[in-house]
Amino acid sequence: MVRLPGRPETRPPRSFGRPRAPERQAPGADGAPPGVLRSAVTRRSVAGQVFLLQVVIVLLLVVSAVVAQVLQVRHDSDQEARNRSLAVAESFANAPGTAAALRAPDPTAVLQPRAEATRKATGVDFVVVMSTDGKRYTHPNADRIGKTFVGTIAPAVAGGTVVEEVNGTIGPLVQVVVPVKDKSGKVVGLVSAGITTAHVGGTADQQLPLLLAAAAAALALATAGTALVSRRLLRQTHGLGPYEMTRMYEHHDAVLHSVREGVLIVGGGGRLLLANDEAQRLLDLPEDAEQRHVLELGLDDETAGLLASGRVATDEVHLVKDRLLAINQRPTDLRGGPPGSVTTLRDSTELRALSGRAEVARERLNMLYDAGVGIGTSLDVVRTAEELAEVAVPRFADFVTVDLFDAVLKGEEPKPGTALRRAAFSGLRKDAPLYPLGERIRFVSTSPQARSLTTGQAVVEPVLREAPGWLAQDAERTGRILRYGIHSLITVPLRAGTLVLGLANFWRSEKPQPFDTEELALAEELVARAAVSIDNARRYTREHSMAVALQRSLLPRSLPEQGALEIAYRYLPAQAGVGGDWFDVLPLSGARVALVVGDVVGHGLHAAATMGRLRTAVHNFSALDLPPDELLGLLDELVGRIDQDETPADGAAVTGATCLYAVYDPVSRRCTVARAGHPPPVLVRPDGEVEFPEVPAGPPLGLGGLPFETVDLELPEGSSLVLYTDGLVEDRDRDIDVGLELLRDALRRAPGASPEDTCRTVLDRLPARPSDDVALIVARTRVLGADRVAEWQVPSDPAAVGEVRASVVRRLGEWGLEELSFTTELILSELVTNAIRYGRGPIGVRLLRERTLICEVSDGSTTSPHLRYAASTDEGGRGLFLVAQLAERWGTRYTPTGKIIWAEQPLP
């Protein structure tokens, strides 16, 4: 047991009861009982003993101070004499002219006045200048000049300094001899200065009375203070004597050394003052640890540094050897106590296992949190499976594989009993002999994977080498897996509600311990979170595929045959989903071609369905051969009715659409364009010049109230007309003006390129997955030459029909189309006769030889003929019926000056 300093070796038996309190008495004037005050001056009480002891100590201190003062005064006198003599001698020796005066014919005449002046000014008793052999040149007594100096001069002649105490004729004195050197450092003389100790030590007699008076005052104050301290000690000890104090000490000592908590007391200098038995056991201290510095006790640096620093510490955990100690430390001088610190130690080794389990639990919670954040960042089934595998490696497993049904990868509901496909793999190394990515796997019924799929429950195989069901899957592959070092497996079904989407397999190879039931629960939780994200991705894949299929079914699968334009097109769906962009190429009568590009605002199925309706409407309206402005007006009314009459299930109405409609005539080389809120077309001329024609924008479709305007553009042969949607030139990070300039630059860099090459050049500047749909049409113009067009003006006279028929037959002969002469004569005879009979002039006939033979009859009337069945008694009404039977197609289109009835026949 560690003993306290000053503790008596022999003590009475320990008593763990409370100390005996003194008898109660009437209190005195100062609040203390009278009997207690009287006991303060007796030797029986601790207070009295302390009082006497302190009085004796004060007396000894006063006497010691007087003696020390006297000795100090004497010492100071000698020291002052040495310092003053040395300073005067060195100052005089180094004074300017001293060395030169020593070489003068009469050094005394020069140096004596200076020496006397220096002696009087500095208060020394003499300043003597002499030669190197000791002959005096100066002295306070003139009769001693020329005589030999009394003292030691040899060290000074050698260049040193001599300080000595001698008894001279004027009493005890201190004299100093220093050399005088010339500029070359040669000693040319000596200077000695001295002073008697009586002249510097006379202050001792003056200080002694003052010192005695101060000592008396100090004794009085100390006595009074001692009395006050004794009274306070008396109050604190309650008048206990040595025996009672010893017994109290025994109680505290017993408590200190019996508690199961280590206690250390470290002094202000870092020395260990006290260590109880528990502290010695916990820290494994040496037997002589007390009074040694804490840094010398063999403790680890961190713990020893804490004990030596004395800083405040609260439940700091330190690993000392094989123990985990909780350390609390507080300084002892917070309330005027002695410097140092008190430290308590608690053995928390048993908490280490709990801490380890808590750390494992924390890591698992972190992994689950990371899984919640990192799994499901995209609506892609394969990517979501990869995120599950990446989260679990290496924190939970060394290798992770995810197997999904093929139907899940396509967005469909899984079909039980079918094979799975490996969709994701992640591991510490890439050379693991597991099934590779993309492999179709059919698990045998005894394998843990098959059991997990059948029961819908997770299965753990702690030791794969002892799992016959798993070994039966593929003997050759399982053998390689075991040789690779994989030894434990957890397989968990990916369940989303009642659907089992696939399996997640967790493999362990680096950690020798097999998977346990706690890790099985963690794997189930991890996979449950991932299964929801995979199912969401599957549903999105299904809906996206449906929307894309709908959109593609509504877009043209191929371009119709026509000879007016050489066309190439591109369509890029948006990254976020399907949109409402569309385009179309519509052959019209008279070898003309209509180009249309549109964009429904928004994305999703409703936008795609609306796009399909608008495209169908454009088809129908174009069959009427309406001008572009009238066609856009009809589309505007249609979109307005859709907004008013039909509200989608999600409440999001169609907020508008844009459209550009252009009709190109290869005969006149004229292109009529109108647009409704759509970006303008781009015209690339044959010489490579790029321009944006001024086409009035018009309001977007669905707003109503404003008419649309058209612009006629005359296009040289070989010009390219570029139509597009806003996804090509506008982006979240790019203004439309910037996009238009980029489009201009791309078109300028491909002069003379084919429409296909132009599309490729333009789209190379776009990201692989644009944020909005992109529709692009590049149409290079062709011209139907004069050699393929024939026109005649017909008078309003039935007799002129024969002349027209003859002219047409001749032209057909020139074109090598004699086979069509008969039918063409019949068609023209009927159409021209109707125009003469029911229309008004001027009447014209035009033949076009393009992909078909086109016959056109124009007149100034807006009355349109109608096809009907004539009765047997009717004299007329069979002409149009005959035309419809002979022609492949026929119809009527209106012009600003009347109408044109046309009919097409296939070329032989």
Our CA angle for 143, 145, 147, nearest 5°, is 100
pLDDT for 764: 82
> 239 falls in which pLDDT band (50, 70, 90)?
low
304 pLDDT more than 70:
yes
Sheet holding 565-572, edge to edge: 565-572, 774-781, 720-724, 682-684, 690-691
Nearest to 671 by CA among 615, 733, 714: 714
> 24 falls in which pLDDT band (50, 70, 90)?
very low
874 pLDDT more than 80:
no
CB 137 within 8 A of CB 108: yes
Sign, CA dihedral 716-720-721-726, equals negative
Our CA angle for 713, 716, 718, nearest 5°, is 120
32 pLDDT more than 60:
no
| Tens-place pLDDT, residues 184-206 | 888 889 988 888 866 665 555 56
Name the residue with higher pLDDT: 84 or 69: 84
Element (H, E) at 774: strand 774-781
CB 892 within 8 A of CB 900: yes
| Tens-place pLDDT, residues 465-510 | 999 999 998 889 999 999 999 999 999 999 988 899 999 999 999 8
Which region among 287-291, 427-431, 608-612 has the lowest average model confidence (pLDDT)?
Answer: 608-612
742 pLDDT more than 50:
yes
What value does the mean pLDDT take over residues 39-47?
A: 50
What value does the mean pLDDT take over residues 381-387?
A: 92
pLDDT for 73: 66
Packing angle, helices 381-392 and 517-554, rounded to 10 = 160
d(CA 664, CA 812): 26
122 pLDDT more than 80:
yes
Nearest to 501 by CA among 528, 470, 473: 528
| Tens-place pLDDT, residues 434-468 | 999 999 999 998 999 999 999 989 999 999 999 99
Q: How many other β-carbons are positioned within 10 Å of the β-carbon of residue 771? A: 14
Assigned token pair, 146:
């020329």
Q: How many other β-carbons are positioned within 10 Å of the β-carbon of residue 282? A: 22
> 766 falls in which pLDDT band (50, 70, 90)?
low
pLDDT for 50: 64
183 pLDDT more than 80:
yes
- Mean per-residue pLDDT over the chain, rounded: 81
| Residue in this structure with the two tokens 């309330």, named with its chain if needed | 335
What value does the mean pLDDT take over residues 868-880?
A: 52
Tell me, rounded to whole angstroms, the distance of Cα 6 from its chain centroid: 64
Measuring CA to CA, how many Å separate 510 from each of 396, 502, 506, 523, 750? 11, 26, 13, 18, 60
Measuring CA to CA, how many Å separate 337 from each of 228, 235, 270, 520? 19, 19, 16, 59
| Tens-place pLDDT, residues 527-547 | 998 999 999 999 888 887 777
What value does the mean pLDDT take over residues 80-88?
A: 83
768 pLDDT more than 60:
no
pLDDT for 421: 93
pLDDT for 68: 74
> 38 falls in which pLDDT band (50, 70, 90)?
very low
pLDDT for 5: 39
Nearest to 70 by CA among 166, 206, 213: 206
What value does the mean pLDDT take over residues 174-185?
A: 87
Number of helices (H), then strands (E), in the chain: 24, 30
d(CA 569, CA 550): 19
| Tens-place pLDDT, residues 660-691 | 999 999 999 999 999 998 999 999 998 888 99
